Amino acid sequence: MTRTALIQGGSGGIGRALSAVIRASGEFDQLIVTARDPATVGSDDPNTHAVALDLTSDTSIEEAAASVRQLTDRLHLVITTAGLLKDDALEIRPEKKLTDLNRASLMQVFDVNCFGPFLWYKALYPCLRHREALTIATLSARVSSIGDNRLGGWHSYRASKTAQNMLTQNLSLELRRTNPQAIVVGLHPGTVDTDLSKPFQSGVSPDKLFSPEQSAQYLWSVLSALTVERSGQVIDWNDQTIMP
């Protein structure tokens, strides 16, 4: 049986580090890595395949899913790392208060963080509806927790990740009906030194700021120990369940 892993977002800090950890694990016969610009995936491993994917485009999602289907008819590990918090070109920045809300920013942030990942899973469904071991992990964030939110702010980022968590639980319940081995989770990587967090690192103590490689190792430990009982949860880098 050929085992295939698929990572979305291979040019990002955590996506790139996770790709390396998964390759090094030797657990998969092939690794498919997507990026908006597949040239950025940069691996000369013959068992790594780069595929172009922009999660905000239905055409791109369809074309990328067709490329995946040419490589395999079943996926065993699917990780989606897309995240949007701030984008100067698109004039998106984390909102501090109600009056900062803006429809275009809300739509874009929800598109990348929530709609895109699950429309991607829909397009991949022909490769997900098998009965073998399957783990689907979407990068979430601790700030998605409603119960843990005592600071406010970051409205669109927080809310898009909270909505993402609900779709995680829904997919978990749906796949469980046909595949008792299916596990669907959200993952919080910790605070990680990447482009996404760079503008917001000033208050973070150095021991709480992980390198992408550190975070990827922690996440791989979590993924390797997952059991079906935890499907539907959001789990942090330290294997603790984050309250909804």
Ligand X SMILES: NC(=O)c1ccc[n+]([C@@H]2O[C@H](COP(=O)([O-])OP(=O)(O)OC[C@H]3O[C@@H](n4cnc5c(N)ncnc54)[C@H](OP(=O)(O)O)[C@@H]3O)[C@@H](O)[C@H]2O)c1
Assess 11 for contact with ligand X (CB under 6 A): yes
Give the nearest distance from C-beta 5 to ligand X in angstroms: 16
Assess 12 for contact with ligand X (CB under 6 A): yes
- Amino acid (1-letter code) at residue 53: L
- DSSP E strands, the chain: 4-8, 30-35, 48-52, 77-80, 134-139, 182-188, 191-192, 209-210, 234-236
Assess 75 for contact with ligand X (CB under 6 A): no
Assess 13 for contact with ligand X (CB under 6 A): yes
Assess 182 for contact with ligand X (CB under 6 A): no
Give the nearest distance from C-beta 130 to ligand X in angstroms: 25
Burial of 225 (0-12, 13-18, 19+ CB in 10 A): exposed
Give the nearest distance from C-beta 161 to ligand X in angstroms: 7
The answer to whether 210 touches 193, Cβ cutoff 8 Å, is yes
C-alpha distances (whole Å) from 15 to each of 8, 9, 78, 86, 139 are 7, 5, 12, 18, 10
Give the nearest distance from C-beta 28 to ligand X in angstroms: 19
Dist CA 218 CA 142 (whole Å) = 15
Nearer to ligand X, 209 or 228 (CB): 209
Assess 56 for contact with ligand X (CB under 6 A): yes
Assess 55 for contact with ligand X (CB under 6 A): yes
Assess 112 for contact with ligand X (CB under 6 A): yes
Half-sphere exposure of residue 197: CA atoms within 13 angstroms, side-chain side: 19
- Binding ligand X (rule: CB under 6 A), the pick from 160, 165, 172, 194 is 194
The answer to whether 82 touches 116, Cβ cutoff 8 Å, is yes
- Amino acid (1-letter code) at residue 11: S
Which of 11-19, 67-75, 98-106, 178-186 is the region at the interface with ligand X (rule: CB under 6 A)?
11-19
The answer to whether 18 touches 81, Cβ cutoff 8 Å, is yes
The answer to whether 110 touches 96, Cβ cutoff 8 Å, is no
Assess 223 for contact with ligand X (CB under 6 A): no
Nearer to ligand X, 52 or 228 (CB): 52
Nearer to ligand X, 29 or 45 (CB): 45
Assess 68 for contact with ligand X (CB under 6 A): no
Query: What letter would DSSP give residue 130?
Result: S
Give the nearest distance from C-beta 179 to ligand X in angstroms: 25
165 in helix, strand or coil? helix
Nearer to ligand X, 14 or 134 (CB): 14
Site residues (vs ligand X, CB under 6 A): 9-15, 35-36, 53-56, 81-84, 112, 116, 139, 141, 188-189, 191-192, 194-197
